[in-house]
Amino acid sequence: MQTKYLALPGPTMVNNEVLKEMTSEVFNHRGKDFYKVLQNLTEKTQQFLNTKNQVYYLTASGTGAMECAIVNSFSRGDKLLALINGAFGQRYADIAKTYGLEVIEFHGKWGQSFDYNKIKNTIDEIENLAGITVIQGETSTGVVNDLKKISEIKDEDTLLIVDGISSIGAEYIDIDGWGIDVIITGSQKVLALPPGLAIACLSDKALEAYNKSDLPKYYWDIGKYKKFAEQGQTPYTPAISLIKAAEKQLERMAEQGMGKEVQRHQIIAKMTREGIKALGLELFTEEGCRSNVVTPIKSPHGIKVAELRKLMLEKYNVEVAGGQGKLKETVFRIGHLGNVDPLFMISVLTALEMSLMELGYDVDLGTASKAAQEVLYNKK
Contacts for 264 with CB less than 8 Å, ≥ 6 apart: none
Cβ(154)–Cβ(160) below 8 Å = yes
- Return d(Cα 306, Cα 321) in angstroms, integer: 10
| Three-state helix/strand/coil letters over 263-328 | HHHHHHHHHHHHHHHHCCCEECCCCCCECCCEEEEECCCCCCHHHHHHHHHHHHCEEEEECCHHHC
Query: Positive or negative CA dihedral for 285, 288, 289, 291?
Result: positive
Pairing of strands 294-298, 282-283: antiparallel
What does the alpha-carbon distance between residue 6 and residue 12 come to, in Å, rounded to a whole number?
6
The answer to whether the CB of 190 falls within 8 A of the CB of 293 is: yes
C-alpha–C-alpha distance, residues 354 and 331, integer Å: 18
Q: Does residue 284 sit in helix, strand or coil?
A: coil
* Contact yes or no for 165/338 (Cβ under 8 A): no
Q: What length does the chain have? A: 380
Give dist(CA 376, CA 380) in Å, integer.
8
Residue 273 marked in a binding site:
no
Annotated binding site: 333
Binding residue ranges for substrate:
333
